Amino acid sequence: MKTKFLSLLVMCLVAGSLFAQTNLNAYKYVIVPNKYDFLKEKDQYQLNSLTQFLFEKYGFTALKEGEAYPDDLVKNRCLALKSDAMKDPGLFKTKLTVELKDCNDAVVYTTKVGESREKDFYRAYTEALRDAFTDIEALNYKYEPNLAATTTTTTVVAATNTNQEIQELKNEIQALKEKEAQQAASVAVVPVVAAEKVETAKEAKTMEAEVKEVMNSVLYAQEIENGYQLVDATPKVVYKITKTAQPNLYMVNGENAIIYKKGDTWLIEFNTSEGTKQKELNIKF
């Protein structure tokens, strides 16, 4: 019975390791912070530099926080994991754990607790960190891009439907203009007819303005690498957005903003010095 239990435990550990490896292999980069919360200074005891070195040693592409990031990472921050090291309490031992989070701050991997009995802080922290990294080493990490199947059918159909709606509005405007011309040619010119002409002209101008507003407000989603570019009827690229791990949530490239769907409505949310601001968007995917 004891042998069966030990065998089951080993199988669970192996399965957990393989699952973690598969998850981490989908990420191309690891971002290492410049300072850990449990230390007072940046890269104190060279612990952050050692973290970057160890990630590189075990196959990762490690970047320091704030440095110039590669173009693909700038376009898609979800290609990177954010690393952190945390100190566990202990009287006679220095204990450190390494944690990895995705672009949504969800923890995707945590190492074992690395330990050291050294009294010197420099040696204790580096030894505990190296001990924690034995779990990272065991993963045998290798980057494997996770390509999702995409289709443009929905975008084309949505754009076609919108164009039809705009054309119908144009046809109505033309019909109103023709009606106005017929009334102008009428022999019996009375105040009532004149009033109708004025009203008809107002209606035509109003509907024409509505058409222009519809054409200017609709943004068409055109698929690009790792996301979409949103263009108006000009066509002009208004926003470039990058996919995230969450459905219907996108990062806006070059701006401190996100675009997400709430119910049937698409919203863009900006972070400003005055707080968070929202604006409704008419997006056709």
pLDDT tens-digit series, residues 211-222: 556 556 788 888
Q: What is the mean pLDDT of residues 125-137?
A: 96
pLDDT at 149: 29
For the chain, residues classed under CATH 3.40.50 are: 17-138
Q: Is 18 helix (H, G, I), strand (E, B) or coil?
A: helix
Q: What is the mean pLDDT of residues 169-187?
A: 72
The token pair at 135 is: 């779990």
User: Distance between CA 149 and CA 137 in Å, rounded?
Assistant: 32
pLDDT band, residue 230 (cuts 50/70/90): confident
pLDDT at 226: 84
AA identity, residue 23: N
- In DSSP notation, 124-135 reads HHHHHHHHHHHH
User: Distance between CA 258 and CA 268 in Å, rounded?
Assistant: 6
**What's the predicted TM-score (pTM) here?**
0.47
Which overall architecture, per CATH, does domain 17-138 show?
3-Layer(aba) Sandwich (3.40)
pLDDT at 196: 60
Q: Is 262 helix (H, G, I), strand (E, B) or coil?
A: strand
pLDDT at 10: 37
Cα→Cα distances 238→75, 225, 231, 268, Å: 16, 17, 5, 12
**In the predicted model, is pLDDT for residue 237 greater than 70?**
yes
The model's pLDDT over 24-74, given as tens digits with 9 standing for 90+, comes to 999 999 999 999 999 999 999 999 999 999 999 999 999 999 899 999 999
The token pair at 210 is: 């509505």
